Amino acid sequence: MAASDETHDPARRSFVPSATGHSDFPIQNLPFGIFSRGAGQRRAGVAIGDQIFDITAALSAGLFSGDAMHAAKAAAGPSLNAFFALGGEARRTLRARVAELLTLGCREQSKVAPFLHPAQACTMHLPAQVGDYTDFFAGIHHATNAGKLLRPDNPLLPNYKYVPVGYHGRASSICASGVPVQRPNGQRKTADAPPSFGVSRRLDYELELGVWIGPGNALGEPIAIGAAGEHVAGYCLLNDWSARDMQAWEYQPLGPFLAKSFATTISPWVVTPEALAPFRTAQPPRPPSDPAPLPYLFDDHDQREGALDLELEVLLLTPAMRAKGLAPHRLAVSNTRYLYWTLAQLIAHHTSGGCNLNPGDLCPAPSRDRHRTVWAACWKRPKVAANRSIFHPAKRAASSKMVMR
């Protein structure tokens, strides 16, 4: 598990002016992503302030050597899968070298500067080819609230506090922030009428933390919970779009299908475990009446440091609000420390039956909030969500904008 080091020093400054005080991309963060500029090829970059540092070009210019060069070569293609496969030591080495190159006073500043691109002039892409996508029901507050809507008399099923519940989602419809999302068509059913087919009237969002898988495991070889942290390549924000009217009709007995498979939006930047090391915290204790995790899901170190203290929020800005000069409206605020299961527990359980995880697989976990979905806040409302979800400012002013941060 990553520990704090000199790259987290709050006094550290970059020679990139916009990085100082930047709310998303100060020099202490340095997330990885895949970008292109104009008609150029997709390549690896690191966000720093309002700029993108071109890893691929810097590699060609000889700014990396030794283990950092090996890691940069793995990251230099049109996706980060090979970089994810290298694991934590290579990632830490490359991140440390990038931090050195971007630090104020770096002797190689004049060599680095040509490889900085304005983020506004670039297009972001999916950071990796997603082979498999598993959605976990890891937030007990969300599970309870959703259950109250679908099963008022039995909201939380008996297995929830024993088993990290998840389902296999559709990887092909995962898209990077800013890609338009269409309301899906499907079967809908009201209480007193036969099913009908048409566009969803109850499109909803779900605020989740996406977990990118690193090296992974061979088929039939489970990952022990104590080693699970080394298989996390990074994190992203994730919007698990959900057509609630379709979901309510189709989800039994096998869970959601068309209600969720039409689109999943993720932020394009991969925040590394190293960047979030200062935000590690203890897993909140379970109520005395709850069962303890089974032995394969329990690790003392994971209980002491396996949770993350990250505040997340969802904001909505409509064209009408923008025309009136109104600020975005907060729909929800949440924190990842309220997850019932740690991320290590999710990985250990996922592989406990022998399932193999591969570099670039994606495993989101819902955050906690009483109203982290519109569904929970206003189930009967007919038009509940925007048709787009983005995580950074939109370029199409005519559309509604949902921001997760």
* CB-CB contact of 314 with 332 (8 Å): yes
Q: Give pLDDT tens digits for 279-306.
A: 999 999 999 999 999 999 999 999 999 9
Dihedral sign (CA 83, 88, 93, 95):
positive
Q: Which of 66, 100, 125 is the last residue of a domain?
A: 125
Q: Give pLDDT tens digits for 101-122.
A: 999 999 999 999 999 999 999 9
- What is the span of the domain harbouring residue 111? 6-125
Q: With 50 as the cut, is the pLDDT of residue 265 above it? A: yes
3-state secondary structure 324-356: CCCCCEEEEEEEHHHCCCCHHHHHHHHHHCCCC
Can you give the pLDDT at residue 393? 27
Query: From the centroid of its chain, how far is CA 328?
Result: 22
161 and 306 housed in the same domain: yes
| Cα–Cα separations (whole angstroms), residue 116 to 24, 79, 99, 120, 299 | 17, 19, 14, 12, 43
Q: Which of 64, 97, 125 is the last residue of a domain?
A: 125
* CB-CB contact of 18 with 26 (8 Å): no
Can you give the pLDDT at residue 376? 46
227 and 96 housed in the same domain: no
Q: Is 142 an annotated catalytic residue?
A: yes
Q: Which long-range contacts (CB under 8 A, 24 or more apart) does 285-290 make?
A: 286/161, 286/340, 290/161
What is the total count of domains within the chain? 2
The residue annotated as part of the active site, out of 142, 231, 350, 392, is: 142
User: 78 versus 393: which is more confidently predicted?
Assistant: 78
Query: From the centroid of its chain, how far is CA 92?
Result: 20
Can you give the pLDDT at residue 9? 92
Can you give the pLDDT at residue 399? 58
Q: Give pLDDT tens digits for 25-47.
A: 999 999 999 999 999 899 999 99
Q: With 50 as the cut, is the pLDDT of residue 310 above it? A: yes
72 and 142 housed in the same domain: no
Can you give the pLDDT at residue 140? 75
Q: Give pLDDT tens digits for 342-351.
A: 999 999 999 9
Residue 1 within a domain: no
| Cα–Cα separations (whole angstroms), residue 167 to 134, 210, 284, 317, 346 | 6, 14, 25, 31, 12
Q: With 70 as the cut, is the pLDDT of residue 87 above it? A: yes
